[in-house]
Structure 1
Amino acid sequence: GVNSKSSAIQNYCLVDLSEQIKAATKDSHVRAENTQLMLNYQKGQITQTQYKLLLCSLYEIYRALEAELDRNADHPAVQPIYFPQELARLETLELDLEHFFGPHWRKRITVPAATHKYTQRLREIGKNSPNLLVAHAYTRYLGDLSGGQVLGKITQKSLGLSGNKGVFFFSFPGVTSPNRFKQLYRSRMNSIELTEQQRREVLDEATRAFEFNIEVFDDLQKMLSITEEASSEFHEIQSKTFSSSPVLQFALGVGITLATVGIGVYAF
């Protein structure tokens, strides 16, 4: 009948996995770009504290994603989109973290609970359903290739950074033309053979990947507002009452630091 004909045409139009993902994640994509953190970022209202916290979360996310991609490099759904030379971000994030936190940066990484949830999911699918890694790789890498160039420039300008120091994350020396590379990546992705069921699962996972990113952005925003409120309250208290007592000043300072770390790790 007419119905089966129109649905066949619909399927034919969206036969490419990359197009299907784009359509399925359109709303989530818009929501991710409209989180408070990203809106501020796009306006160039990013502070060093914000950027450092964002780098910490990105580091944990890419550490999990790249470990699972490496482990599944020969899997039929991963192999076509496995481009470690061109895309891997872990080393660039390590350079950036070292720039801001110094040689012992690993001890200073703070991430909200949403980041742990995201990395747990990546490790779980890497172990049990490697097909789904495609959705996460596509969401993160193609997003970084698209928006990264702009965000990199904004970061440099907002934080007064020179050269690539602190913004290595945004540069892809292995990719000469981001647009051409994205075309290659999409065509490789479209060559992956999936059953209808597997394809649906990949589409659901792509939406989920955006949701994870939104949760991370929102949690970072909460962490930041708590940190900022705490430090401004502390300075107010400090100037009013305790300017005479260094011991109390110290106790208050430590209390606030512990509260922020605690909130960062457990509260959300």
Structure 2
Amino acid sequence: MAGLAERLRAETRAEHERTEQSPFVMSLLDGQLDRGCYARLLGQSWLFYQVLEEAAEAWRSDPVTGAFVFDGLHRGAALEADLRWLHGEAWRDAVVPLPATRRYVDRLRAVCFDSPTAFVAHHYTRYLGDLSGGQIIRRRLTSIYGLTTDGVRFYVFDEVPKPKRFKDAYRELLDQAPWTAEDHDDVVAEANEAFRLNRAVFEDLADASGLAA
């Protein structure tokens, strides 16, 4: 029987690929959008990372779920630094939640503070993606938009010097968590929901950026 980590990888692949192939993402990485569109993406991201990292604090002392809480993953401060560099000190005024972002934030608040499996599903979806494909995105963005460290701090994990080793250890935590088969089903289902919510944000960003449907 496959462990939870393998189930997550296999059973979220379709939603993951659909999200990665969203027109907004493809256009951004092809250099078809301006820096303002990228800044808008970071602003929306800041809104939902704030909630996810608030939930992480709530779970920190839990003997099982707390093991997934690692401060080196947190993106809030990095996003704020990027947004301040892109927008200036009044960056908060530029961050206006899109409808899909509001739905994403509402879902996080609804499930991540009460359900350990939901929290881990969203945690896994965001942070392991940041450590994987996020690094490819970082290299593309620095090349296309003339960025260095400033503007892409979101993708820099100074406290995770060996991402593969970290991801392997994270997957071991998933497999070792004392959860039932039903709990595993819940994690997989919520992870797929997380990808759908994220894709909806990309769709709203595409509309806001003037991309043709």
Q: Under a length normalisation based on structure 2, what TM-score does the superposition of the two structures give? A: 0.94
Contact 1:75 1:130 in 2 (8 A): no
C-alpha offsets along residues 42-98 of structure 1, whole Å, 9 cap, x if unaligned?
3233421110110011101110100001111123442121111x2110000000000
Residue range with higher mean Cα deviation, 129-138 or 73-82: 73-82
* Structure 1 position 123 matched with structure 2 position 109: yes
Per the alignment, residue 4 of structure 1 pairs with: none
* Structure 1 position 171 matched with structure 2 position 162: no
CA distance in structure 1 between the aligned counterparts of 2:166 and 2:75, rounded to whole angstroms: 16
Could you tell me which amino acid in structure 1 is paired with residue 200 of structure 2? E
Q: Give the SS at the match of 2:31.
A: coil
C-alpha offsets along residues 103-148 of structure 1, whole Å, 9 cap, x if unaligned?
1211221221111111111111133313211111111101010012
Question: Structure 2 vs 1, CA of residues 221 and 212 (structure 1 numbering), >3 Å: closer, same or farther?
Answer: same
Per the alignment, residue 145 of structure 2 pairs with: 159
CA distance in structure 2 between the aligned counterparts of 1:81 and 1:46, rounded to whole angstroms: 35
The one of the two structures with greater contact order (alpha-carbon pairs below 8 A, sep at least 6) is: 2
Gap regions ≥5 residues in structure 1: 1-11, 229-268
Could you tell me which amino acid in structure 1 is paired with residue 90 of structure 2? H
* Structure 1 position 102 matched with structure 2 position 94: no
* Structure 1 position 189 matched with structure 2 position 174: yes
Paired residue for 2:185, among 200, 205, 229? Answer: 200
* Structure 1 position 32 matched with structure 2 position 16: no
Contact 2:85 2:151 in 1 (8 A): yes
Q: Under a length normalisation based on structure 1, what TM-score does the superposition of the two structures give? A: 0.76
Contact 2:28 2:38 in 1 (8 A): no
CA distance in structure 2 between the aligned counterparts of 1:193 and 1:212, rounded to whole angstroms: 27
Q: CA deviation at 1:33?
A: 1.1
CA distance in structure 2 between the aligned counterparts of 1:123 and 1:77, rounded to whole angstroms: 20
RMSD of equivalent CA atoms: 1.5
Q: CA deviation at 1:190?
A: 1.5
* Structure 1 position 93 matched with structure 2 position 85: no
Q: CA deviation at 1:180?
A: 1.0
Could you tell me which amino acid in structure 1 is paired with residue 100 of structure 2? A
- Give the length in aligned residue pairs: 212
Gap regions ≥5 residues in structure 2: none
Contact 1:80 1:189 in 2 (8 A): no
Give structure 1 regions of 4+ aligned residues with deviation exceeding 3 angstroms.
Answer: none
Q: Give the SS at the match of 2:137.
A: helix
Paired residue for 2:44, among 50, 57, 67? Answer: 57
Identity among equivalent positions (%) equals: 34
Per the alignment, residue 234 of structure 1 pairs with: none
Structure showing greater radius of gyration is: 1
* Structure 1 position 225 matched with structure 2 position 210: yes
